[in-house]
Amino acid sequence: MNIKSLIVVGLLIVWIGGLSLAIDRSVPLSLQACYQLALSRSEVLADQQEQVIQAEEHYKQAIGAQLPSLTGLASYTLAPNSTDQLLVKANASYPLFRGFRMVGAIKQNEHLLNAQKEARQWAALQLYTDVAQALYLYAYLQQDIRLLIEQQSLLNKRLNELRGRVNIGRSRATEVYSLDVSLIQLQTQGVAAASQLDAAESLLTFLTGKDIAIRVGSTDNFTLLPLARYQARMDQRPDIKASMGRVESAKVFEQITKEGESTPQIDLNGNLYVVRPAPNQSTAWDAQIQMTLPNFLTDVAYSKTRESASIKKQAEIALTLLRRQANNDIETVYTNLTAEKKQLQLLEKAQQVSEKNVDTVINDYRLGLSNNLDVLQAMNAFIDIKRSLNKIRFAYLTDQARLASMTADQGIILP
């Protein structure tokens, strides 16, 4: 063995050992486990939760607007050439009649609150998709590196056999050099895959908070239901339910605007005086019913009504568009899954045939019926098929997770 070959083999052994240690130090975590870790540290979900809290407070404020209010007032008036005046009183006010406005405000804020809760759930489903893509990319790269190591092992065995044949004069030295080049090229691919694996691990660490490598457990679940079953779940998506809630809120707002701009407002007010200036200091209390009529002299009321109708129409258009986009996304991912499932089946058959071909070509080589190039091509084709199968497998699992997220699958544990 020449010095160049010794260096290549030494570097290869070190690289394989390092990759093996990187894989062995990993711990098995399922997609659902990684997702739960991501839920607990997502700033996006934390922001969505704050928006839910704000919507809840708006809902409580709408309820509080229907209840009586009690306020206090104290004032001291200084005026030239006049007696100073002190006023201390308590005021109670109760809205007797405001048409549909107060009840409508409660309904409107209730719809908005539910919409915000659904928006938070949709953000959680988007996070599920992000985690699945990161996790399956990581798993794919792990397995791809294992296949590269397997390929190196096969080539090393082949290299040892070639050296033995060169020593007895049955093979040429150029065949050894050619195999050395193949090993170096394979090592280059391994370095690139290891770099991608580090990047995928960093992304998983960012999402889950885990600063160690992650090994994916058993994920061989390639079931695929009819497309209609997935489309039937579409209206259960949180983003669509949130959009539906905004439509209902816009309808209530339109009704509030119509009645609010055309009906009077009646309020009951009462004052209890602790200290009152002259000449009414002897009156301890008073009460009044106040009616406020809408302004019929301008077009403001009609303008607000038209504006609210436009807001409702806009919300309905947004819902229609969202439904069409959701249906298109589901169909697209389903088409990908169908194609990937067929590729999986074909590649599994190709792997079996390719493995038999490797054994046959090697036996033919030993009998002098094939050359070293035939053997290398057969071995590389076998590993390439296994790598393609690995890639399609995790692409399928990623799209499967996307479809589950798009249809709000009940198997996803939401917060």
Walk me through the domains of the chain, giving residue ranges and CATH numbers: 3-65+100-262+301-406 (1.20.1600.10)
**Interatomic CA distance for residues 128 and 371, integer angstroms:** 51
pLDDT number for residue 216:
57
* Strand ranges inside 159-261, DSSP E: 214-216
Residue 293 CA: distances (Å) to CA of 260, 264, 356: 10, 5, 92
| Helix segments in 40-93, DSSP class H | 43-64
Q: DSSP H helical segments within 220-299, as ranges? A: 227-232, 238-260
> What SS3 state is found at 140?
helix
Closest CA to 120 of 39, 235, 57: 39
Return the residue matching tokens 């080049």: 181
What are the residues facing 74 on neighbouring strands?
A: 88
Rounded Cα–Cα distance for residues 242 and 225 (Å): 26
DSSP 297: S
Let me know: does 136 contact 415? Beta carbons within 8 Å. no
The angle, 0 to 180 degrees and rounded to 10, between the axes of the packed helices 101-167 and 3-24 is 150
What value does the CA radius of gyration of the chain take, rounded to a whole number of Å? 37
296: number of Cβ within 10 Å:
8
The pair of structure tokens assigned to 225 is: 């239901």
What H or E segment, with its residue span, contains residue 12? helix 3-24
- Rounded to two decimals, the pTM is 0.77
Rounded CA separation 162/152 (Å): 15
Q: Of 351, 347, 348, 369, nearest to 360 (Cα)?
A: 369
**β-bridge mates for residue 91, sequence order:** 71, 271
The answer to whether 246 and 318 are in contact (CB under 8 A) is yes
pLDDT in tens, the chain (415 residues): 444 444 444 444 444 444 443 434 455 677 888 898 899 889 999 999 999 999 999 888 888 888 888 899 898 888 776 777 888 889 888 887 776 777 788 888 899 999 999 999 999 999 999 999 999 999 899 999 999 988 888 888 877 777 776 667 666 677 777 777 888 888 888 899 999 999 988 998 899 887 655 555 545 567 788 999 999 988 889 999 999 999 999 999 888 887 766 778 888 899 888 888 877 778 888 889 988 877 666 677 778 888 999 999 999 999 999 999 999 999 999 999 999 999 999 999 999 999 999 899 888 878 878 887 788 888 888 989 999 999 999 999 999 999 999 999 888 888 7
Residue 8: what pLDDT?
A: 44
User: At 136, is the secondary structure helix, strand, or coil?
Assistant: helix
